[in-house]
C-alpha cells in the first residue's frame, strides 16, 4: 500500500502549465472533499448560514453535497433581494420551500467554450417540495417584509417559540448534513440551544455532553437528540423515531428548559437537592 506523494505545485509567471500540474490541481480538492465527507448524508456540508444586517438576510457562501457530488456557493446571496426578483413572481402570503435543486447543464460556458459542466445546483422557491432537493427552509412571502430569522426570546415561557412560529423563516426544515449519515438541524438552531444552556443555572451530565458536542462540532446528530430526549422524558427511543423534525425539536427544548435538580446523598439514602433543602428547612423550624 502506497500513499500518494506529497506534491507541491508552484505556478511561476511565464511558465507553461503541464498536464501533471493541471491534473494535480483538479484531483486534490475533490479527493479531499470526498474523503472528509464520505459518510455524510446529502445536505449542507459547510457554510450556507443565515446572517441578518441592514440590507436584509444573506445566505453565506458554502458547500453542499448532493448525489455524492459537491457544489460550492462562492459568494453570499441577499435572500430578500433574490426573492423580490424571483421569476415567476412569488404570490403574496403564500408559503414556499427554499430549496437547492440539481439540474443538467448542456450549454458550454461563453467564456470557456471547451469547458462543459454536467450538472449545477440552483436555488428555487417552490410551493411543494421538489423530489431529490435539499431544503434550506420554509418562508411565507411578503413583499413589504423581508425574511425574519428566529431568535431566542427573553420571555421564559416563549424562549424558543419563534422557531416554530408561522410567518417566520422555518429553519427547522433545513437539511444539514451529518457524518452519522442522516441530516440534522441547521447550526443556527444549535447556537440557540447553546446560548440557552450557557445561561442555565445548573446543567445535568447529559446537558454538559450536549453543550460540549455543540461547542466542538456546531451541530448534533438527530440520533443523539433522540437519546437525550429519551433519557430525560423516560420513554423508549423507538417512540421518538416517528416524530417530525418540528416535534422532535419541541421535545428537545422542553427537556433543555426543564430545571435540573442534582441528587445528593443524605443519611444513607439518595434524594434530590430540593428534597434535601425542604428537609433542612423543616429541621430548622423544629429547632
Q: Residue for cell digits 453543550? A: 211
pLDDT digits (tens, 9 = 90+) for 230-286: 999 999 999 999 999 999 999 999 999 999 887 665 555 555 554 544 544 444 444
Q: Indicate whether 36 and 101 sit together in one domain.
A: yes
Helical (H) or strand (E) element with 104: strand 95-104
Residue 7: inside a domain, yes or no?
no
Number of domains in the chain: 2
Domain residues for the domain of 37 are 17-180
Residue 4: inside a domain, yes or no?
no
**Integer CA distances (angstroms), 86 to 96, 135, 136, 183, 207, in order:** 12, 17, 16, 28, 43
End-of-domain residue from the set 134, 160, 180? 180
Task: Report, in angstroms and rounded to the nearest whole number, the Rg of the chain calculated over CA atoms.
Answer: 25
pLDDT digits (tens, 9 = 90+) for 214-244: 999 999 999 999 999 999 999 999 999 999 9
Q: Residue for cell digits 427511543? A: 237
Q: What is the pLDDT of residue 3?
A: 61
> What residues contact 92, with CB distance under 8 A and at least 6 apart?
141, 142, 143
The grid coordinates of residue 251 equal: 421535545
Residue 1: inside a domain, yes or no?
no
Q: Indicate whether 237 and 169 sit together in one domain.
A: no
Q: Are the C-beta atoms of 220 and 190 separated by less than 8 Å? A: yes
CB neighbours of residue 275 within 10 Å? 15
pLDDT-derived band at 287, boundaries 50, 70, 90: very low
Nearest to 72 by CA among 44, 94, 103, 41: 44
Q: Indicate whether 196 and 151 sit together in one domain.
A: no
* Total-model pTM: 0.83
Cβ burial of 78 (10 Å; 0-12, 13-18, 19+) is middle
Q: Which residues of 37-71 are buried (b: 16+ CB within 10 A; e: fewer)?
A: beebbbbbbbebbbeeeeebbbbeebbbbbeeebb
Q: Indicate whether 163 and 28 sit together in one domain.
A: yes
Distance CA 135, CA 96 (A): 11
Q: Indicate whether 24 and 166 sit together in one domain.
A: yes
Q: Indicate whether 280 and 241 sit together in one domain.
A: yes
Q: Indicate whether 51 and 188 sit together in one domain.
A: no
pLDDT of 113 above 60: yes
Q: Indicate whether 148 and 277 sit together in one domain.
A: no
Q: Indicate whether 171 and 210 sit together in one domain.
A: no
Cβ burial of 116 (10 Å; 0-12, 13-18, 19+) is exposed
Q: Indicate whether 212 and 172 sit together in one domain.
A: no
Q: What is the mean pLDDT of residues 38-60?
A: 92
Residue 10: inside a domain, yes or no?
no
Residue 123: inside a domain, yes or no?
yes
Residue 56: inside a domain, yes or no?
yes
pLDDT of 115 above 90: no
> What residues contact 186, with CB distance under 8 A and at least 6 apart?
44, 49, 50, 137, 171, 174, 176
Residue 2: inside a domain, yes or no?
no
The three-state secondary structure class of 266 is: strand
End-of-domain residue from the set 161, 180, 199? 180
End-of-domain residue from the set 180, 205, 220? 180
Residue 3: inside a domain, yes or no?
no
Distance CA 115, CA 236 (A): 54
Q: Indicate whether 69 and 132 sit together in one domain.
A: yes
Distance CA 218, CA 189 (A): 10
Query: Which one has a higher pLDDT value, 275 or 46?
Result: 46
Q: Indicate whether 174 and 202 sit together in one domain.
A: no
Amino acid at each position: 500500500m502506497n500513499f500518494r506523494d506529497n506534491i507541491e505545485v508552484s505556478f511561476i509567471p511565464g511558465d507553461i502549465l503541464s498536464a501533471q500540474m493541471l491534473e494535480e490541481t483538479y484531483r486534490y480538492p475533490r479527493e479531499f472533499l470526498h474523503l472528509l465527507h464520505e459518510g455524510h448524508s446529502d445536505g449542507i456540508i459547510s457554510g450556507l448560514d443565515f446572517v441578518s444586517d441592514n440590507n436584509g438576510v444573506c445566505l453565506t457562501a458554502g458547500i453542499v453535497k448532493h448525489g455524492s457530488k459537491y457544489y460550492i456557493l462562492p459568494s453570499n446571496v441577499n435572500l430578500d433581494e433574490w426573492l423580490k426578483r424571483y421569476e415567476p413572481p412569488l404570490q403574496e402570503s403564500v408559503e414556499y420551500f427554499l430549496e437547492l435543486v440539481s439540474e443538467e447543464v448542456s450549454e458550454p460556458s461563453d467564456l470557456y467554450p471547451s469547458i462543459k459542466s454536467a450538472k449545477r445546483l440552483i436555488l428555487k422557491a417552490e410551493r411543494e417540495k421538489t423530489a431529490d432537493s435539499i431544503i434550506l427552509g420554509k418562508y411565507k412571502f411578503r413583499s413589504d417584509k423581508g425574511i425574519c430569522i428566529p431568535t431566542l426570546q427573553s420571555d421564559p415561557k416563549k424562549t424558543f417559540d419563534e422557531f416554530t412560529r408561522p410567518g417566520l423563516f422555518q429553519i427547522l426544515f433545513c437539511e444539514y448534513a451529518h457524518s452519522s449519515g442522516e441530516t440534522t438541524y441547521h447550526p443556527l438552531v444549535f447556537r440557540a440551544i447553546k446560548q440557552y444552556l450557557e445561561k442555565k443555572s445548573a446543567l445535568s451530565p447529559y446537558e454538559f455532553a450536549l453543550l460540549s458536542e455543540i461547542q466542538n462540532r456546531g451541530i448534533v446528530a438527530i440520533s443523539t437528540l433522540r437519546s437525550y430526549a429519551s433519557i430525560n422524558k423516560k420513554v423508549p427511543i423507538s417512540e421518538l423515531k416517528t416524530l417530525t423534525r418540528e416535534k422532535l425539536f419541541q421535545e428537545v427544548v422542553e427537556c433543555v428548559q426543564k430545571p435540573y435538580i442534582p441528587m445528593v446523598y443524605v443519611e444513607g439514602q439518595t434524594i434530590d437537592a430540593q428534597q434535601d433543602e425542604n428537609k433542612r428547612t423543616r429541621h430548622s423550624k423544629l429547632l
